[in-house]
Structure formats: C-alpha cells, structure tokens
Amino acid sequence: MTIPGIHARVGGVWKEAVDQYIRVGGVWKRIDEAYVRVGGVWKQIAQKVVPGSQWYSSPGSYSFTVPAHNSIFGSSFGAGGGGAGCFSNGTVAGAAGGYSSFGGIGAYGGAGGPGTVGGGGGTAWGGSTVVTGNTGEAGFFTSWPSNSGYGGAGGACYPGMGGGGGARSTTHGNPGTWPGGGGGGAFLLSSARAGGGGGGGGGYSSISYARGVYPRGSNITIIVGQGGAGGSSFAAALGGNGANGGVYVSWS
C-alpha cells in the first residue's frame, strides 16, 4: 500500500516507496503512518491510503477535505427541471434546476417544462467526460376517438441514472428520479385539454485527478443544486418537481 510522501533513491532515481516496514523485536511490521520531530513537535509526513467514497445529495455548499490518496475521482450531476403544470386555460411552466460542481468541474440543471413542450437538458463543463442531460418529453392530447393524453416524462440526467415519469392519464406529474432527473409534466382534462411538458435532465461532468493536483489536507468546494419546482401557480394539475443534483467523490 503506497504511503504518499516517502521516497528512496534507487540507481540515481528517486522512487516512491511502497509498503514500508520496520523491524521490531525481530519481526517486520508494516508502517501505516510516519512522523518527524521538528522543533520539538511531531509532524506527520506520510499516511496510508485508505480507499473510500462519499455522496453529496442535499442541496447546499460543502467543503471536502482531501485525504491521503493516489487518485481522486469526482462527478457532478446537475439538478432536474420541474415539469409543466396545467390549468383550465393552458399550462404553467416549471422552474429550472440548479447547478452542481466539484472544484473546477460542474453541471448545469435542466430547464423547466415551458409549456406543452419539454424543457432542455443541462450542459456541463470542465470534466474529462461531459454529458448534456436529456430533453423532457412533450405533453400530448387527443380528442378523437376519445379524450385522452398525458404529461411528458422528465429527461434523464445521465443514461441509467435519473429521469422523471410524466402523468399518464392522471393529473399531477411525477417527481424526477435522483440524481438530476427532470419532473414529469401534468395532464388535465378540461376545456384546454392540456398535457404539460417534462423538465429537462441535469448535465453530468466527471474527472479523475492524480495525486498532487489537490494536496492532502487541502479543501475542494462542492455545490449540490436543488431540483426545479414543478409548475404550480394557478395550476389544477401540478407539474412534478425535478430531482436534486448530486456530487460523488471516491479516492484510492
């Protein structure tokens, strides 16, 4: 197991030491931590890498303290946009989702369903992988041979990870699936016979940092976006709320 910070000169080349040991009572024991005494104070110079991971799922701002590592992987999921609501004379737009970020990478939230059409997916920036969220599905209504229709489904944030169900011959749209799924559009059987569009899915961005980009003990700012509210003002059928964004961090 690598302990960052310890190097040995081999054949004129400095190489990082791996699995350091010390002989105690005739028995070799592996060193997990190393300290040096400076001015009468013991200071840590090396620490064993313990792999781990962490999800951030509640909207807000956080500070991630960088642990001992060989590499750090970070990914950001933008929040989903809200689905459009419906009232007797038309539709009510949903709100856009907020952005999420991890250090220098991030992803914007999806747009709210603006009416009967779906909201656009959020874009992303900074990562070695960037994916634009899916556009929400448009709502639909038909009066022949029977009055029927549906609200559009929300767009997915990342393939296989988030998306919101639209109202299928019901009234209210369904909330988006976490992380970053757009909320579903509502459906209302009225004089307007409206099917609301689904909210767009949040964008996605990820990157892997080698050791040294962010030194052990430094802090990385994390922001998690809030899902957009479904269209509700004056609405008899409410649009589904977009799902919150998320940030996932792992290290090894």
Rounded to whole angstroms, how far apart are CA atoms 68 and 108? 30
pTM listed for this prediction: 0.82
Q: Give the pLDDT confidence score for residue 1 in this predicted structure.
A: 44
Query: How many beta carbons lie within 10 A of that of residue 16, not counting itself?
Result: 13
Contact of 100 with 107, CB cutoff 8 Å: yes
> pLDDT at position 27, please?
78
Q: Where do the structural domains in the chain lie, given as residue ranges?
A: 2-47, 49-252
Residues with pLDDT less than 50, the chain: 1-2
Closest CA to 240 of 123, 162, 131: 162
Strands, E assignment, 103-185:
105-107, 124-125, 129-131, 140-142, 148-150
- State residue 193's pLDDT score: 66
Look-up: residue for tokens 């001015």? 39
Q: 216 burial class (0-12, 13-18, 19+ CB within 10 angstroms)?
A: middle
Helix (H) or strand (E) holding 248: strand 246-251
According to DSSP, residue 237 is labeled: B
C-beta separation of 67 from 250 below 8 A: no
Question: Which two tokens mark 241?
Answer: 């709320």
Determine the Cα–Cα distance for residues 165 and 168; give it in Å rounded to an integer. 8
Rg over alpha carbons for the chain, rounded to the nearest Å, is: 25
Matching residue, tokens 């747009």 = 111
Alpha carbons 88 and 62: distance in angstroms, whole number: 43
Give the pLDDT score at 169. 54
Alpha carbons within 13 angstroms on the beta-carbon side of residue 249 total 25
Give the H/E segment covering residue 34.
strand 33-38
